[in-house]
Amino acid sequence: MRKPSHPNLSRVIPIGVSIAAIDQLTAWWARQSVPLGHETWLVRPVLGMELLFNRGATLGIGSQWPFFVTIVGVLGTIILFWLALTLKSLQIPLAVMAGGALGNVVSRIHSGRVTDFIRISGWPGIFNLADVAIRLGGLWLIIHVLITSRNKKTSSP
């Protein structure tokens, strides 16, 4: 059996593509099932859904420049996948972030906007699963770096 030319590809690409695919499927479901602009609480008053289309980045930032937001998203996705393939110890959280970024980029290229539909009480804005992946991957990355740097400090003489 032939060994893959880049062993990290067997983890990074499936994780990233799976997250992007799940984001696309849930966004499609939301467009079919959630009324536009109507708030529906799943777990009152904590978790709800409200359909919103966003041409900008997080919280609608840059919505007046959707082409620029798309270009930045494409570049960010490429950089995240490259880092995930390069930095073995951080490959999983970076792949999760890359998958979220890819999901948003696919939406922007396909329709010029992302479909946001998740509302959490007390959290600013409405978001989608791609945004969740980006934030959870980022949090995972920060925790990993903090724990690793702390362990290096305690183990050095």
Looking at the annotation, which residues are catalytic?
116, 131
DSSP 52: E
For residue 51, which of 112, 115, 108 has the smallest C-alpha distance? 115
Our CA dihedral for 123, 125, 126, 127, rounded to 10 degrees, sits at: -80
Neighbours of 123 (CB within 10 A): 11
E strand intervals along 30-120: 40-43, 47-54, 114-120
